[in-house]
């Protein structure tokens, strides 16, 4: 392993590389997850054709589209945060200075986003662990598909979202304290 020369001026660049690494990870996961749209479209098109052209609906398409679409959505959340693609209510926010915006973002992140995210992750990990332990199957359709692999995606995506919050928070704090 290469040794990193940590000098006083280098700490900032190390932190920046770490933050950039998190953002690159989020970008790559979202890039891979984006390909889930292909099987999602295939499942929906198959179901539509089977249902309306052949009057023979499937028992599996609804659940597969929900699992694939849900996975696509949650795996893209961290990327959405890193590129600021989420929705804001800009009635007052847009009129504030960057420093005021960063202050509000940091406060909300510390006192709202992080506690909710950490609580949710803890619950999801327990929920997923129990699902794997009992080899849980879906009761929504007669297909009875195992759902524990899909439940695993949720805590993984939330951990990735938690990681994506770190660069945002660090940069907001830096903006607030900068003179």
pLDDT for 4 equals 46
pLDDT for 3 equals 46
User: Quick check: is 3 in a domain?
Assistant: no
Letter string b/e over residues 19-35, b meaning 16 or more CB atoms within 10 A of that residue's CB: beebbebbeebbeebee
The residue segments making up the domain with residue 129 are 11-177
User: Minimal CA–CA distance to 74: which of 167, 178, 164?
Assistant: 164
User: Which sign, positive or negative, has the C-alpha torsion 76, 69, 39, 147?
Assistant: positive
Q: Among residues of the chain, what percentage have pLDDT more than 70?
A: 94
Q: What angle is formed at CA 130 by the lines to CA 119 and CA 26, rounded to 5 degrees?
A: 50
Contact yes or no for 53/63 (Cβ under 8 A): no
Mean pLDDT calculated for residue range 150-177: 96
Mean pLDDT calculated for residue range 136-151: 92
Q: How far apart are the first and last CA of the chain?
A: 37
Contact yes or no for 164/81 (Cβ under 8 A): yes
User: Quick check: is 166 in a domain?
Assistant: yes
Entry pTM = 0.86
User: Quick check: is 4 in a domain?
Assistant: no
User: Quick check: is 98 in a domain?
Assistant: yes
The total number of structural domains in the chain stands at 1
User: Quick check: is 6 in a domain?
Assistant: no
Task: State yes or no: pLDDT of 162 exceeds 60.
Answer: yes
Task: State yes or no: pLDDT of 13 exceeds 90.
Answer: no
User: Quick check: is 80 in a domain?
Assistant: yes
User: Quick check: is 73 in a domain?
Assistant: yes
Task: Give the containing element (helix H, strand E) for 43.
Answer: helix 37-48
Q: For residue 94, what pLDDT band results from cuts at 50, 70 and 90? A: confident
Q: Residue 37 phi/psi, 5° resolution?
A: -65, -30
User: Quick check: is 134 in a domain?
Assistant: yes
């Amino acid at each position: 392993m290469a040794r990193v020369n940590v000098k006083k001026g280098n700490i900032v660049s190390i932190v920046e590389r770490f933050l950039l690494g998190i953002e690159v990870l989020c970008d790559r996961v979202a890039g891979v997850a984006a390909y889930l749209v292909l099987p999602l479209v295939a499942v929906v098109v198959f179901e539509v054709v089977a249902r309306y052209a052949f009057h023979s609906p499937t028992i599996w398409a609804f659940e597969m589209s929900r699992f694939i679409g849900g996975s696509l959505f949650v795996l893209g959340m961290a990327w959405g945060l890193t590129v600021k693609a989420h929705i804001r209510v800009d009635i007052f926010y847009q009129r504030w200075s960057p420093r005021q915006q960063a202050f509000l973002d940091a406060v909300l992140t510390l006192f709202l986003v992080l506690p909710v995210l950490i609580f949710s992750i803890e619950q999801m990990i327990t929920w997923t662990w129990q699902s794997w332990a009992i080899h849980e199957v879906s009761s929504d359709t007669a297909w009875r598909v195992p759902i524990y692999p899909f439940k695993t995606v949720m805590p993984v995506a939330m951990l990735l979202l938690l990681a994506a919050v770190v660069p945002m928070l660090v940069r907001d704090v830096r903006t607030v304290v900068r003179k």
